[in-house]
Structure 1
Amino acid sequence: MNKIRVSLLTIFSITTCIGQTYKVLEKINIPGNQGWDYAVVDEVNQHLFVSHGSEVNVIDLHSNKLLTSIPDTKGVHGIAIANDLNKAFISNGKDNSVSIINLTTYELIEKVVLPAENPDAILYDAFSKKVFTYNGKSNDATVLDAITNKVVKSIPLGGKPEFSVTNTKGLVYVNIEDKNQIKTINTSTLEVTNTWSIAPGEEPSGLAIDLETNRLFSVCGNNIMVVVNALNGKVIKTIPIGEGCDGVAFNPKTKLAFCSNGDGTITVVKESKKGRFSVLETVKTQKGARTIALDKTTNRLYLATASFGDKPAPTTENPHPRSSIIPNTFVVLVVDAK
């Protein structure tokens, strides 16, 4: 009986693993040879917004074809979707502004110049009807009223902010990259309410949240994911991930967290019903695919990247050079479990 039981458990384990294996199903080719950063899914309209140098590419997810491109978004980093207001908010790092776009026509509603430097990650909080830009050089957050498009306040953060998430109940959380922290912001008072160390995590970038269990997933530059209790800031678990991570997404239906790594992998982390966390699998993607977007309606993942040439030799002016992008190789990877 024990041997039979072990065999059945083994078969079940293998079947489960096969059923949850993710792979690149398609590559969507996009014109242009500039760099990229965040991408986000407009689930209502089934469109993917991809930052791409000085424009934002919009992809129709029914056909996986380029629908349109939004111009004049110099040094674009992030896009926040506000379906209830029919707006997209785009952070433009090179001219310190936010472009506000009509989600139906893709026309510019307004471009708001910020009292900040290098707006990077951006978040729309539907609970408060506010937009938060996280500004890499001025070490603060700029808050916009999403209805009037006016700047409401600047919030000092005491360090370089990265990605942010909302608990949809009046709090937002933001990674502070150079301080190895997560800070919480009250969306009513617009004040920092908590500062939590996420040691041993270093240089946190991507951030995701499980709203049901109040767990934060912070992915860090020292190749670990830190799972944090969103109620008290306690570090619950650290999990090894790939190298060069920049993004993470959480699927509440499958209880899986996906960490996108620049080394060409996705680390898939499973959250069990007992509150335990473990690496389910490592998915091969493509070098440079370091940011990630999740479509929660289809469970598909999207990652932007390109092919690279040789890395230049370091110089005094550029001690840490990046490899050049090979022309006409910019793609969006479509990843799913099949």
Structure 2
Amino acid sequence: MKRTILSLFLIFCISNSYCQTYKLAKKINITGNEGWDYLTVDDVNQHLFVSHGNVVNVVDLKSNKTIATIPDTKGVHGIAIANDLSKAFITDGKDNAVTIVNLKTFELIEKVAIEGQKPDAVLYDQFSQKVFTYNANTNDATVMDAITNKVVKTIPLGGKPEFSVTNTKGLIYVNIEDKNEIKTIDAAKLEVIATWSIAPGDEPSGLAIDLESNRLFSVCGNKLMIVVDASSGKVIKTLPIGDGCDGVAFDAKKKLVFSSNGEGTITVVKEQNANKFSVLETVKTQKGARTIAVNKTSGDLYLTTADFGEKPKPTTENPNPRASIVPDSSVVLVVASNSKK
């Protein structure tokens, strides 16, 4: 019986040209007791930037030690890395501002106030050398010149923007959470040139892209990943994911898509070709780990979370209370593969 099971397992692996298991490899302690949002890898310098309340923690991925704390980023959400300019652009949601720091010294270059309200996700597009902040309360994108740090335009989006990606050739894609859409922005004209429905996806948040197959991966609040043709907007595939997802990452070397689910799991999807996708496995992480970043060099995955206390009872003033964070429990989860393929 054991021999039969092993044979079937080997056949499955060979037929899929893939046999791999991801698992939680380690936890990196992070100082601070506030909430978190996005985290971003600086692949060139092998540093991890972690949004954390009113600061950004910078972790050296070689030593797994915090090497810097960037202060005064009130209500921080996103971090965009511009290696060609040696800058990081950080959205300060409560200050309606963008903090710009030196990538190597982490010293403040400038803090730029913007008209957009509650900047959340942020994207650096090297093709145009522009920075796009996506503003939740004004339903628009603020565009900054990444060289001069000056605001050059505001692009109305007609809905609440979430995460964004670039095709590196002049097109920017952004999820519109409350409209169940993806909008395409021309990085030269700085205007929306296409709007696509991603039904049956509902409340899209995280977004990733495969530049080779020209496929977008949008993860949604109704536990679906929607695969979209980035040229036509056609929905190619709908895949099940876990609950509470807010992020997605793509490993171009392994052709894998990772949905980070706040319930405490990662859904791993294999791209076999531009039109064929399948769920490979569900990896256990930790409750609250809803955003994700991938290290392009090592293939490791990073997620932020903490331990939680009891959830308060709903009140009229606060009908949807959040559970408190247990002091000194904030961590970065490192999820790694046991395969080199």
TM-score by length of 1: 0.96
Q: How does 1:127-138 map to 2 (within 5 A)?
A: 127-138=127-138
1:85 aligned partner: 85
Distance 1:76 1:274 in 2: 35
What SS does the corresponding residue of 1:165 show, helix, strand or coil? strand
Query: Do the aligned partners of 1:19 and 1:337 also contact (CA within 8 Å) in 2?
Result: no
What SS does the corresponding residue of 2:36 show, helix, strand or coil? coil
1:318 aligned partner: 318
2:173 aligned partner: 173
AA aligned opposite 2:25: L
Render the CA deviation track for 1:115-174: whole Å, top value 9, x for unaligned.
110000000000000000000000000000000000000000000000000000000000
Distance 1:256 1:269 in 2: 6
AA aligned opposite 2:78: G
2:263 aligned partner: 263
1:208 aligned partner: 208
Query: Do the aligned partners of 2:271 and 2:278 also contact (CA within 8 Å) in 1?
Result: yes
Q: Structure 1 residue 14: deviation in Å?
A: 5.1
Identity %: 70
Give the direction of change, closer, same or farther, for the CA distance of 1:233–1:330 in structure 2 (3 Å limit): same
Render the CA deviation track for 1:237-281: whole Å, top value 9, x for unaligned.
110000000000001110000000000000000000363011000
Q: Structure 1 residue 13: deviation in Å?
A: 2.4
TM-score by length of 2: 0.96
Query: Do the aligned partners of 2:213 and 2:274 also contact (CA within 8 Å) in 1?
Result: no
1:153 aligned partner: 153
2:12 aligned partner: 13
Query: Do the aligned partners of 1:185 and 1:192 also contact (CA within 8 Å) in 2?
Result: yes
Name segments (4+ residues, structure 1) moved above 3 Å: 4-10, 14-19
Please list every run of 5 or more consecutive structure 2 residues that lacks an aligned counterpart in the other structure.
none
Query: Do the aligned partners of 1:77 and 1:93 also contact (CA within 8 Å) in 2?
Result: yes
Q: How does 1:324-335 map to 2 (within 5 A)?
A: 324-335=324-335
Distance 1:324 1:5 in 2: 49
Query: Do the aligned partners of 2:236 and 2:275 also contact (CA within 8 Å) in 1?
Result: no
Q: Structure 1 residue 10: deviation in Å?
A: 3.8
Q: How does 1:291-306 map to 2 (within 5 A)?
A: 291-306=291-306
Give aligned pairs, total: 335
Give the direction of change, closer, same or farther, for the CA distance of 1:148–1:269 in structure 2 (3 Å limit): same
Q: CA RMSD in A?
A: 1.7
Q: Structure 1 residue 8: deviation in Å?
A: 5.2
Please list every run of 5 or more consecutive structure 1 residues that lacks an aligned counterpart in the other structure.
none
Give the direction of change, closer, same or farther, for the CA distance of 1:28–1:5 in structure 2 (3 Å limit): closer
AA aligned opposite 2:128: S
Query: Do the aligned partners of 1:268 and 1:279 also contact (CA within 8 Å) in 2?
Result: yes
Q: Structure 1 residue 17: deviation in Å?
A: 9.5
What SS does the corresponding residue of 2:49 show, helix, strand or coil? strand
